[in-house]
Structure 1
Amino acid sequence: MRFFAFYIAYSFLWLITLLPLSVLYVFSDLFYFFIYRLLRYRRKVVSENLRFAFPEKPADERSKIEKAFYHHFCDFLFESIKTLHLSKAQFNKRFVFLNPETLNDYHQKKQSVVLVSGHYGNWEWMASAEKYIRHKYLAIYKPLANKQYDRLIKNIRKKHTSVGELVSMNDVYKEILRHIRSNQLIVTWFLGDQSPPKDYPLWINFMNRETPFYSGPEKIARKFGHAVVFMNINKVKRGYYEVEFTPLFDEPKKTSENEITLAHVKMLEDTIRKKPEYWLWSHRRWKHEKPGAD
């Protein structure tokens, strides 16, 4: 039954993505009304997350951020599925890399890179990076429980890339070692705010709350000597984004424990505080409490 439902959903998505983005944004506005006003999708989660993150802001300002987030979230969903029928020319126009030379300088120096970003802007459009990044790049992702929908997401993400690979979080070390042994320079891209495995997370004060973080990017950088770069995907206007790379550590083996993780988490928080509506507030990021917390 799930298999049948998946192909109905996939066929529907495939058809509507034939429409231009300008039309899909009309659907996005209607979808906003449906999930925000009628379905009230995770309204309590978003409201609580914003209340903890911005206690200094008045309720009406937090409400504006909440509504702006839902508008962006709906746009993000339709932009993501539009990937199935978005040309490379459109991608390059809408998703602009401001300083690709930052990564390519590392390639010239024969150094691999750990790239860290967050669920901010439109991270799904990073598939267009192949035109700008000379390294082989590995996109680390957390597989969905539903195998059919997981395959759909992977198809969308692979639509515009021929030099990248989607790698499950469970296979990160194995894949990195495989490329190192093949003498390939790689960019390993992590969503640094992804919920970590339950065992031994690093707890950091993030957006005014103790938050568990995955320390995998730091461990890889320190173990293999890969440079660490933070990536910000800034939304310029509807359907247009700019990507900026900020080098954090060129010599990660000289860093102290947790220094790298603390640095990229701070970069993400600073980004969110500037334009909070573009982060994924519907994510149940704080569903677990720090052991021993009151």
Structure 2
Amino acid sequence: MIKKGLSYIGVFFFYLLSLLPFWFLYLISDLVFVILYYVTGYRRKVVQDNLRNSFPEKSEEERAVIEKKYFKYMADLTLETIKSTSMSEKQVRRRMVCTNPEIMEHYFAQGKSILAAAGHYGNWELACLNFGFLTDKVKMVVYKPQSSEVFTNFINRTRSRFGTIMISMKQTLRKMIEYKNELTFTVLAADQTPARSEAVYFTTFLNQPTAVFLGVEKLSGIRDCAIVFYRIDLVKRGYYTYTLVPLVENPKETKPYEITKIQVNYLESLIREKPEYWLWSHRRWKIKPEDIAKPVFFD
């Protein structure tokens, strides 16, 4: 009960903080960066290990530059995410812009629904808000519930303010069937870490054996959806674009694991372009193939 009460207090504080103007929040972000990077060293060891294993070809100096840029961006991302809880439609439309909505209309004109793989890269929360404006078709985002029900509900209320339907991972198949007679656009994170009980499939990602979900691949086979990647790019501080990158048009013509490998490869290429915008402080490789009774590898 106490924990739940503290969560409500935290949510209320987040909302009050979100009412501050962007320029002031970025001053706070600069301070947060100093505290995280220089004072507390928050998860620096995790970030350094992840960068070292992902980019063994880079020097320590090169990885140190990426690490510092990452913490600087993570501070901005944190404050921008808080700000998103009270942003107006005008602010969201101005700060996150889709570069090629014609791709979406191309598939809808063929009677195809769309599945988008996305990564924890750039400001995915702001992209989720803008997603609500993208089309008048059914728009769904699949999420992984947080440990706090209060925060999960608060975040989902924010994400769904402009028409996006939030779906828990366990409800995805049911919702896809529910809307089987409608054109839909569904977004799934391509870089979530599976629960240990579900970590069966492994592929090479950033030079490491990595447990992956087959969610996009399995769902695309059910609906024969076109598959795109939901790419986010930072234009300047606080301003982004997102691009719908076609990956697979006819999923039923692919081989097993081919779709998953294509989306993993694309995410890796994006991370290698500008690595500081991916979520390096997450323990993405905590599950090893040797921890699993019968791991399945594919390349």
- Work out whether the TM-score is over 0.5: yes
Structure 2 residue 159 is the aligned partner of structure 1 residue 166: no
Q: Larger deviation: 86-95 or 193-202?
A: 193-202
When residues 186 and 153 of structure 1 are mapped into structure 2, their CA distance, relative to the original with a 3 A threshold, is same
Q: Larger deviation: 31-40 or 138-147?
A: 31-40
Contact 1:201 1:215 in 2 (8 A): no
Q: Spell out the pairing of 1:34-183 with structure 2 (5 A cutoff).
A: 34-125=35-126, 126-159=128-161, 161-162=162-163, 164-180=164-180, 183=181
Contact 1:81 1:156 in 2 (8 A): no
Residue aligning to 1:214: 213
Residue-pair matches, total = 289
User: Structure 2 counterpart of 1:102, which letter?
Assistant: I
Deviation of 1:221 (Å) = 0.7
Report the Cα distance in structure 1 between the residues aligned to 2:198 and 2:130, rounded to whole angstroms: 34
Report the Cα distance in structure 2 between the residues aligned to 1:156 and 1:39, rounded to whole angstroms: 30
Report the Cα distance in structure 2 between the residues aligned to 1:84 and 1:52, rounded to whole angstroms: 35
Report the Cα distance in structure 1 between the residues aligned to 2:133 and 2:148, rounded to whole angstroms: 31
Deviation of 1:116 (Å) = 0.5
Residue aligning to 2:267: 268
Residue aligning to 1:185: 183
Residue aligning to 2:11: 10
Report the Cα distance in structure 2 between the residues aligned to 1:41 and 1:68, rounded to whole angstroms: 14
Deviation of 1:200 (Å) = 5.1
TM-score w.r.t. length of structure 2: 0.93
Q: Deviations over 1:21-68 (max 9, x none)?
A: 111011111111122222211111100000011111111111110011
Report the Cα distance in structure 1 between the residues aligned to 2:83 and 2:29, rounded to whole angstroms: 12
Q: Could you say what secondary structure the match of 1:131 adopts?
A: coil
Deviation of 1:292 (Å) = 7.4
Q: Could you say what secondary structure the match of 1:291 adopts?
A: helix
Report the Cα distance in structure 1 between the residues aligned to 2:142 and 2:46, rounded to whole angstroms: 26
Q: Deviations over 1:198-219 (max 9, x none)?
A: 3353211100100011001101
Report the Cα distance in structure 2 between the residues aligned to 1:265 and 1:108, rounded to whole angstroms: 28
Structure 1, unpaired ranges of 5+: none
Report the Cα distance in structure 2 between the residues aligned to 1:29 and 1:292, rounded to whole angstroms: 40
The CA RMSD over aligned residues, in Å, is 1.4
Report the Cα distance in structure 2 between the residues aligned to 1:292 and 1:46, rounded to whole angstroms: 22
TM-score w.r.t. length of structure 1: 0.95
In the TM superposition, structure 1's runs of 4+ consecutive aligned residues that sit over 6 Å from their partners are none
When residues 199 and 9 of structure 1 are mapped into structure 2, their CA distance, relative to the original with a 3 A threshold, is closer
Report the Cα distance in structure 1 between the residues aligned to 2:13 and 2:116, rounded to whole angstroms: 34
Report the Cα distance in structure 2 between the residues aligned to 1:111 and 1:223, rounded to whole angstroms: 12
Contact 2:156 2:166 in 1 (8 A): yes
Contact 1:231 1:246 in 2 (8 A): yes
Contact 2:7 2:148 in 1 (8 A): no
Report the Cα distance in structure 1 between the residues aligned to 2:137 and 2:273, rounded to whole angstroms: 31
